[in-house]
A = this chain, B = another copy of it.
Amino acid sequence: MGQLRRDPIVGRWVIVNVEKPKLPEQFEVTKHEFTQKANCAFCYGHENMTPPEIDAVRPPDTLPNTPGWAVRVVPNKFPALRIEGELNPEGIGIYDMLNGIGAHEVLIESPEHEKNLADLEVGQIRDFIDMACRRAISLTGDKRFKYILLFKNYGVDAGASLEHGHGQMIALPMIPKNAYEELEGAYRYFEYHERCIFCDIIRQEKQEKLRIVCENELFVAFCPFASRFPFQVWLISKQHSPYFCHMSAQEKNKLSEILKCSLLKIKKVLRDPSYNFILHTSPLDIKQAEGFHWYVEIMPKLTRVAGFEWGSGFYIVPTPPEVAAKFLREAEI
């Protein structure tokens, strides 16, 4: 029988199949095939195939747009939004429009074409995270932007169009709906309880222990109680902070460790599935920031979203997070 569970932050219900949980081996997983190495714009020696680099982690004796870099940031060649111009809101009858101003950057994780985040050294992951913070801080300085989103699509099923490991950062001229709902939901709780809902979630998860995947001094990884997708994992800092980009050097190290650990466990248990990586962080300078607590979400793509989900916003979750977490927790990596 299904069990209905409500997400404590945004109020979304999910239906969890607690009776006959779907096991890892029962999911169909698309194999990743690497084919475009020769013409890959993200490999060493092809730096001129991308727009000129915005920033990079590279030895001081190398020039921009030449090999030698460890992490490289370039503008997206096919940006969803353009960086140039002023915002120009417009109405057409009852409809609202805005010209497409924003930033759309690509963060190339490493020079290694066939390695992905899970396979990189912790130090390489830290360089990537460090760069993401740097870019977020830089884009936040542009007063046209209200929200910065960092995400990553791994594998065709997760929407990746290029194989070489990369994240993307988009700066938006408004706070997007999903982020706003989360900020609002957390703030409502904060106003009522005078506590951060995420801190309360961490406390309960650490007590119950049922949904914990792994943990270190500064971070905990767990499968959320009202997961939308099977084997979904959140990585959250034990210290309250609304802002990802305010992390200390020590926190960046520890996040890199737990991220690698979580991704390797997902890779092992689910046979290297496609996944989306999404950073949830607060925009600066809004009152709701106070009640927010940044986290990273990893969503393996194992199920299809169909009419029921699109129509209702409900999700049917074939594997309870308690079962998923047990598999991940016990996986040896």
A277-302 interface code vs B (CB 8 A; 1 in, 0 out): 11110000000000000000101000
With a cutoff of 8 Å between Cβ atoms, the chain B residues found around residue A5 in the complex are 95-98
Please name all residues of chain B whose beta carbon is closer than 8 Å to the beta carbon of A208 when the two chains form the complex.
93
Closest to A208 in B: B93
A151's contact among B10, B159, B168, B308, by CB below 8 Å, is which?
A: B308
Residues on B with C-beta less than 8 A from A79 are 2
Interface residues of A in 49-77 (CB under 8 A from B): none
Q: What is the minimal beta-carbon distance from A167 to any residue of chain B, in angstroms? A: 9
For A228, the closest partner residue in chain B by CB is B310
- With contacts A81-B2, A96-B6, A100-B3 taken as known, whether A313 is within 8 angstroms of B200 at the C-beta atoms is no
Chain copies in complex: 2
Main secondary structure, interface of A, reads mixed
Interface residues of A in 1-58 (CB under 8 A from B): 1-6, 8, 10-13, 15
Determine if B99 and A1 form an interchain contact, defined as CB atoms under 8 angstroms apart: yes
Contact between chains at B176 and A80 (CB < 8 Å): no
Q: Which of B4, B181, B280, B311 contacts A280 (CB 8 A)?
A: B311
Indicate if the CB atoms of B15 and A81 lie closer than 8 Å: yes
Q: Which of B176, B278, B311 meets A314, CB within 8 Å? A: B176
Chain A interface, number of residues (Cβ within 8 angstroms): 71
Question: In the bound complex, do residue B159 and residue A307 qualify as a contact, i.e. CB atoms below 8 Å apart?
Answer: yes
Q: Does A137 contact B (CB under 8 A)?
A: no
Q: Are B94 and A308 in contact (CB under 8 A)?
A: no
Contact with B along A298-333 (1 / 0, CB 8 A): 010000111110111110100000000000000000
The answer to whether A177 and B100 touch across the interface, beta carbons within 8 angstroms, is: no
Cβ-closest chain B residue relative to A299? B310
Q: How far is the CA of A5 from the CA of B94 in the complex (A)?
A: 11
**A164-207: which residues lie under 8 A (CB-CB) from chain B?**
168, 170, 172-174, 176-179, 181, 197, 200-201, 204, 207
In the bound complex, do residue A93 and residue B204 qualify as a contact, i.e. CB atoms below 8 Å apart? yes
| Structural contact, A13 and B152, CB atoms closer than 8 A | no
Interchain CA distance A5-B307 in the complex, whole Å: 24
Please tell me if A139 contacts chain B, counting CB pairs below 8 Å: no
**In the bound complex, do residue B100 and residue A1 qualify as a contact, i.e. CB atoms below 8 Å apart?**
yes
Interface check A276, CB cutoff 8 A: yes
Beta-carbon contact of A311 and B80 below 8 Å = no
Q: Which residues of B contact A1 (CB under 8 A)?
A: 82, 99-100
Name 29 A/B residue pairs within 8 A (Cβ), A-sorted.
Answer: A1-B82, A2-B80, A2-B82, A4-B81, A4-B99, A5-B95, A5-B96, A6-B96, A6-B98, A15-B80, A15-B100, A80-B308, A92-B225, A93-B204, A149-B308, A157-B304, A158-B304, A158-B306, A168-B307, A170-B308, A176-B311, A176-B314, A178-B313, A179-B312, A179-B313, A277-B307, A278-B310, A297-B311, A299-B310
Per CB-CB distance, the 7 closest pairs between chain A and chain B, nearest first, are A159-B306, A2-B100, A151-B307, A178-B313, A176-B312, A177-B313, A278-B311
